[in-house]
Structure 1
């Protein structure tokens, strides 16, 4: 006998499914009580992509990303960060529903390590895996148009 312990539904729709287990017996098939479930309660989104982090003037770490395309109904995402030069605990930001967020950081010249993850907006299901780490870049300031020559790079 086949010892299959899982099933795959394809194509998977975002409806509510009614599932039950049916086993043959000598007295006819035996059927379990039905279970109702929504795939959104069990789905783990893919990780976000195209993560970018820029430390801006004024000590703002700006992080942007492209969220995964599913689930269509919406995602919440959060990022975490820590300084590259000082090994410390990750600082996790609150979830946002837009593909970017920012946080004040103590040193705008510091490089920060950033990761992002997402989950369904209603809080069911699972968080995606954290993205690969991305190092922040610092926003370049323009050199002045006037002033001593050493201010300008030629």
Structure 2
């Protein structure tokens, strides 16, 4: 394992998580196949992004892009552009589940209602489309923003107030 990756894990207080270490190493190997220019934003960009991708793939919550950018020694905007570019080049799509969304937003009591709303909506929406458009609509509905929108709409219907900076 590279010294830079170990150092970054240590600085993020994640060096005890062996599963995360192993996953971060795999992502770092994948990132090594990309052109070095991709990681020009900062000297620690590659190891921090490898840890970030591992963190997401394990469906952990609480990643701080501002702190990650500081550790990568670049601006937050440059870090976010780089992670977006790396995801595109590695063909990675973040997986979002209702479980992780409701935990992150502090509204776990309504998960059954969120799942029911999403299921009902997708069924009715897809049946209204032509047969030719149904497959692409099914793929689009798997994108994270649809799940996020469903949680948001359901939370607003229940009068839930969000206390996070993400909204």
In the superposition, the TM-score normalised over structure 2's length comes to 0.21
Larger radius of gyration: 1
